[in-house]
Structure 1
Amino acid sequence: MTFSISARCARTGMFGIAVSSSSPAVAARCAHARAGVGVVATQNITDPTLGPKGLDLLAGGLSPDEVMARFKAEAPFFDYRQVVVLDTLGRSAGHSGTKTLGTYAIARGPDVAAAGNLLASDKVPQAMVDSFAAMPEAHLGDRLVAAMKAAVAAGGEEGPVHSVGMLLVDKVAWPVADLRIDWSEGDVMAELEALWQLWVPQMDAYVTRALDPSTAPSYGVPGDE
């Protein structure tokens, strides 16, 4: 019921994850990333606790393969989970438990890994990885949006998707982008793309306002003159 892409920008060190599902508010429980540390995607029959745990293990010096080994040894009901872990070197590890739903697959490349379950085709994750790899000079957010659109073009989920989210982290302790369409009957990828295009020109200004409001641009709202 979910497909996702976890990635690192080799030029900037920014991390990001985009995820979509037929169920509501998918990004709230599946998308986890930490600046300077990495990304964890936890999906299928989701255990949201694996996100923070995996990021803590990466921060403690474990590789993605070592994190996954810890999960396999310690996480309850791990056969029900589909998990991707990606680190600061662009290395990744993926797991699809024996209880993963429907058609499922994981595809990996340098700085990227994609995973999905209940897919229309097992080629969907590879289509996402290929799309990401084809845009090396683009902003990470643009690459993730393009990869999600490529997933839909390759068949996407077996049924319609209704929620999507994209999380980006970079240099500061909070997400620089946390964009979500938690439920829609329309084209959620088009809605995500439109939301991203609205957000990206303002993204750096919101970081500056948090770090040093005295140097930040105006808020651009009525009454701020």
Structure 2
Amino acid sequence: MKKLSFLFCLLFTFGLSAQNIKGISKDAFAHTYSIVARDTVTGEMAVGVQSHWFSVGPLVAWGKAGVGVVATQSFVNPAYGPKGLELMAKGTSAEQALTQLVEQDNGREYRQVAFLDAHGSVSAFTGENCVEAAEDLTGKNFSVQANMMLNDKVVPAMAEAFMRYSDYPLAERVVEVLKVAQQTGGDIRGKQSAALIVVGPEKTDKSWEDKKIDLRVDDHKQPVQELERLLKVARAYDHMNKGDLAVEAGNMEKALKEYGTAEKMFPDNLEMKFWKAVALANSGRIEEARPIFDQVFEEDANWKEMLTRLPKSGILTISDEELQKILE
């Protein structure tokens, strides 16, 4: 214990240079708690993480649709992310891939890493020199891991929470696990940033389709709560996107349904109100649309100008007379 304390004195004194510590001389410092998990129904895979460190997401959370997810933390070796995904993409199991990379890592005793592949294989590693309380627990289709926690109850509480919220969608389930971790004690230093990624069950060569959810809270007093809020916003905008696609396809009934669902989730959001009104107008329900437009225009006149630009693009399909009726 004295040796480890002296190690950290050196690290902080020399700005984490760690030049005499084999294998971690240039590694980022991201002690944290995280979860990797898979939904057995949808096949989606996720990583959720929180830390008292700025912008923890890009360092810790890695994932690729149809392949797997990785969480790499403590003294972070980011190479575990892309290298682990590359191995799993070639058919190597999560356990075999993690074992192979750990064996090649001179700084392994300062690492904490978890791999999960698209087949549900899961594996985790916690080096002997990770700062207490440090532990990992793996179960069917998930692994929870943490280091530098306030107490040794955090990781078991995370595992219990993952099983307790089994009826939740995967992203919401992961957020609940992060919330429980914080409620149980969390990082001994406090909290600062959080992240959540979700990837699908099928491989894709379209990079823009790789992540279904990709949310980051880089610097916040309540990062997990902010992550939860952003997830709710993301779900609402999923409905907005579906509404847009329905408009493109000329299916105003579906567009109205999707925009309406989004608006119910965020009733004060002007954009959601506006597009719901557009869908109503395109469906011939001008009288229903008018009071919604009036409310939006009153709060922000730019939306009135926006409406006048839509007919040219084909997004608004009402007559000039009907448009003037709305604008007046």
TM-score (norm 2): 0.63
Other-structure match for 1:193: 228
Q: Which of 194, 218, 221 is the matching residue for 1:182? A: 218
Secondary structure, aligned partner of 1:153: helix
Partner of 1:75: 105
Structure 2 counterpart of 1:137: 167
CA contact (8 A) 1:33 1:168 kept: yes
Task: Give runs of aligned pairs for residues 45-84 of structure 1, distance below 5 A.
Answer: 45-84=75-114
Distance, in Å, in 1 between the alignment partners of 2:155 and 2:62 is 19
State the SS of the aligned residue for 1:176: strand
Aligned to 2:9: none
The alpha carbon displacement at 1:204 in A equals 6.3
SS of residue in 1 equivalent to 2:50: strand
Indicate the SS of the match to 2:55. coil
What is the letter of the counterpart of residue 183 of structure 1? D
Aligned equivalents of 2:210, 2:246: Cα separation in 1 = 15
Give, as a single letter, the amino acid of the residue that structure 2 aligns with 1:179: L
**2:99 & 2:233 partners in 1: Cα distance?**
40
User: Structure 2 vs 1, CA of residues 138 and 101 (structure 1 numbering), >3 Å: closer, same or farther?
Assistant: same
Q: CA deviation at 1:203?
A: 3.0
CA contact 1:8–1:112 (8 Å) conserved in 2 = yes
Farther-moved stretch of structure 1 (175-184 vs 197-206): 197-206
The match for 1:160 among 164, 169, 190 is: 190
Higher-RCO chain (CA-CA 8 Å, sequence separation at least 6): 1
Letter aligned with residue 145 of structure 1: V
Q: Structure 2 CA distance, aligned partners of 1:150 and 1:96?
A: 21
Greater Cα shift, 77-86 or 24-33: 77-86
1:179–1:196 CA contact under 8 A, matched in 2: yes
Change (3 A) 1:63 1:114: same
- In structure 2, the CA distance between the partners of 1:86 and 1:208, relative to structure 1 (3 Å rule), is farther
**How far 1:196 moved relative to its partner?**
0.8
The runs of at least 4 consecutive aligned structure 1 residues that moved more than 6 Å come to none
1:125 to 151, 155, 159: 155
**Structure 1 Cα separation of the partners of residues 62 and 247 of structure 2:** 28
AA matched with 2:224? M
Would you say how many aligned residue pairs link Structure 1 and Structure 2? 223
Question: 2:239 and 2:246 mapped to 1: Cα distance?
Answer: 12
Worse-superposed segment, 46-55 or 163-172: 163-172
Q: More helix by proportion, 1 or 2?
A: 2
Structure 1 residue 34, shift from structure 2 partner: 1.0
Question: Mean Cα displacement is larger for which, 38-47 or 130-139?
Answer: 130-139
Deviations 1:156-197 (A, max 9, x none): 11121100010111245421111111011x222211111111
**Aligned-partner SS, 1:133:** helix
The structural deviation recorded for 1:72 is: 2.1
Q: 1:175–1:212: structure 2 CA closer, same or farther, 3 Å change rule? A: farther
Return the index of the structure with the highest Cα Rg: 2
Unpaired runs of at least 5, structure 2: 1-30, 260-270, 275-302, 311-315, 317-328
Segment drifting more, 150-159 vs 68-77: 68-77
CA distance in 2, matches of 1:30, 1:179: 13
- AA in 1 matched with 2:172: D
**1:133 and 1:86, CA in 2 relative to 1: closer, same or farther beyond 3 A?**
same
Residue 124 of structure 2 is matched in structure 1 by 94
Please provide the CA RMSD for this pair. 2.4
Greater strand content? 1
Equivalent residues of 1:71, 1:78 under 8 A apart:
no
- Do residues 25 (structure 1) and 87 (structure 2) align? no
